[in-house]
Amino acid sequence: MQTINHSLSLKGDDLYIEGLRAADLAERFGTPLFVLSESHLRHNLQRYQHAFAAHWGEGEVRIMPAFKACPLVAVRRLLSQLSCGCDVFGPGELEGAVRGGVTPAHISVNGSIKDANIIRRAIDLGAQIVLDSPRELQLCIEQAKLAGRAARILLRLKPFMAELETHSDFVPELQIREMTQMIKYGIPTSELMAMLPSIDGNPHIDLLGVHVHMGRHSKKTEVWQAWVRHCVLLMGEIAAKLPSWRPQIIDIGGGFASFSDRDTDVAVQGYEAPSLEQIAEQICTSLRTALAEIGMSGQGICLELEPGRGLHGDTGVHLTRVHNVKHESQHRPRQWVELDTSEVFLAIGGLNFSAPFDYIYANRAAAEPSETVDMVGQTCNAELLFHQVAAPQLAAGDTVALLNTGAYIEPMATNFNALPRPGTVLVSGAQAEMIKQHESVNEVFSRDVIPERLQGDIVREVSNHG
């Protein structure tokens, strides 16, 4: 047996996901199919909990997985059982967190342009509201008055890392300090200080702490150190204006590198990331040092983290089966292996020539490659998923597994060509359960509305050209 990662292994020709043969899952549940491993998710979560708890003894460490990365209610219920909070964006995700059984006080309602409805819902639930603008503070005050209950808020900061010149892995020509200022999220620093008088002593507002989220601009420790330090320095400026205030929570958001380090969306790839344990140590040390710099003790401060890709990325695979193989032997010899999946289910698009996924011939893993093929997806796009790659002789029904699809892939699937989107299965040991149904064609058209005048038998208008 050959181990690939915590949940995947090879036995002879076969890929196994925990105790189950991938090709059997494909047969039983149908393809294309997303498959998640419960034991892998539990394992990753434990790594986050241990890595940060080992270095932040001052207070609680609370893991608040980002709902957007893996928005499945069953997964959320599992994370809730494992005492996680939840970062949500918008009313849909907030509802998902509620259905997923998250302790309401540990839901963090993030995102820009929150309206009065979501703020009221968050106040009624007793959730944390992460403010993105002065307007949201006013909405909180108004809604808290109406609800007769204080709004529990964090201020989302936009720290400026003045001395940091490191460039972004997303856009290598730009510096991270510029991008974190350029991108919309967070309260503009110039507006932040002007909000404080409305918070100070306001019975409708309970200022719990501060929040930052940088995103996966870099895996370098110096970037995390600067980010945390400048967050705390800005928090120090807030504390100076609110002398009786002490933060209960510092939330440093997500943006941690995935364990597989095979992200599909960053331009700069392939350099070694420090381990999560090393990053955790750097973050906690920087936090402690910066707090000392502003004359504040960390004692009792809860450290919140919102991993998305880092937590979920390598817990999932995408299974697809060969639909057909076409051969051209004239002009330009070529073989096309037509898969039943698509770039539109995989959050990629355009003429990629190489989809950014590792893959395994899941029932032919030990077979010697004998062909050079293009593996293509099923829509009317060119769908060059894997261009001129080595393969064993493949036939209709063979299964291919794309790895590291546990985060941000399933929620980005679209209905191009009126294709129903794939369902998801959760594997735990030798057990597999459908946790999101395959979409049906009826569901694809379920939002269409036919005005009365276009209903009934079609009455064809006489053509001018006839």
Ligand X SMILES: Cc1ncc(COP(=O)(O)O)c(C=O)c1O
Residues that bind ligand X (CB under 6 A): 66, 69, 87, 110, 213, 215-216, 253-256, 306-310
Q: How far apart are CA 240 and CA 244, in angstroms?
A: 9
End-to-end CA distance of the chain: 70
Phi-psi category of 261—alpha, beta or left, where left has phi over 0 and alpha has psi -120 to 50?
Answer: left
Compute the C-alpha angle 226/230/232, nearest 5°.
Answer: 120
Do residues 320 and 27 make contact, with C-beta atoms less than 8 angstroms apart?
A: no
The nearer residue to ligand X, 69 or 322, going by C-beta atoms, is 69
Q: How far apart are CA 76 and CA 66, in angstroms?
A: 10
Q: Where are the beta strands (DSSP E) in 68-142?
A: 86-89, 107-110, 128-131
Task: Give start and end residues of each alpha helix (H) in 159-275.
Answer: 176-182, 189-199, 221-241
SS3 call for 155: strand
The nearer residue to ligand X, 313 or 377, going by C-beta atoms, is 313
Least distance CB 312 / ligand X (angstroms): 8
Least distance CB 87 / ligand X (angstroms): 5
Short-list 35, 7, 19, 30, CA closest to 425:
35
Least distance CB 45 / ligand X (angstroms): 13
Least distance CB 86 / ligand X (angstroms): 10
The nearer residue to ligand X, 252 or 419, going by C-beta atoms, is 252
The nearer residue to ligand X, 155 or 319, going by C-beta atoms, is 155
Least distance CB 40 / ligand X (angstroms): 17
Q: How far apart are CA 210 and CA 231, in angstroms?
A: 8
The nearer residue to ligand X, 96 or 307, going by C-beta atoms, is 307
The nearer residue to ligand X, 130 or 144, going by C-beta atoms, is 130
Least distance CB 166 / ligand X (angstroms): 17
Least distance CB 255 / ligand X (angstroms): 4
Task: Give start and end residues of each alpha helix (H) in 401-452.
Answer: 441-444
The nearer residue to ligand X, 18 or 87, going by C-beta atoms, is 87
